[in-house]
Amino acid sequence: MPQPTLPLPASTVVLVRPNDNGGFEIFMNRRPEKMDTYAGIHVFPGGRVEPADSSAAMLELTQGITPAEAQQKLGGELEPERCIGHWVAAARELFEEAGVFLFAPQDGTLSDAARQNLPQRLADRRADLQRGAIDLAALLAAERLYCNLRRLNYFFHRVTPEHYAVRFDTRFYLAALPEEQTPLDSSEEVSESLWISPSDALERSQSGAFPMMPPTIAVLRSLSIHSSWNALGKAFRLG
**pLDDT tens column, 178-224:** 988 999 998 888 889 999 999 999 999 998 889 999 999 999 999 99
Question: pLDDT at position 111, please?
Answer: 59
Whole-model pTM: value is 0.93
Q: Is the pLDDT of residue 113 over 70?
A: no
**DSSP 3-state of 3:** coil
| 48 neighbors 8 (Cβ within 8 angstroms) | yes
Question: How sure is the predictor about 46, in pLDDT bands with cuts at 50, 70 and 90?
Answer: very high
DSSP bridge pairs for 29? 43, 193
Q: If pLDDT is split at 50, 70 and 90, which confidence band does 1 have?
A: low
**What confidence category does residue 173 fall into, taking pLDDT thresholds of 50, 70 and 90?**
very high
* Cβ–Cβ < 8 Å for 13, 46: yes
What is the C-alpha to C-alpha distance for residues 116 and 118, in angstroms, rounded to an integer? 6
As separate numbers, helices (DSSP H) first and strands (DSSP E) second, the chain gives: 8, 10
Task: Encode pLDDT of 143-159 as tens digits.
Answer: 999 999 999 999 989 99
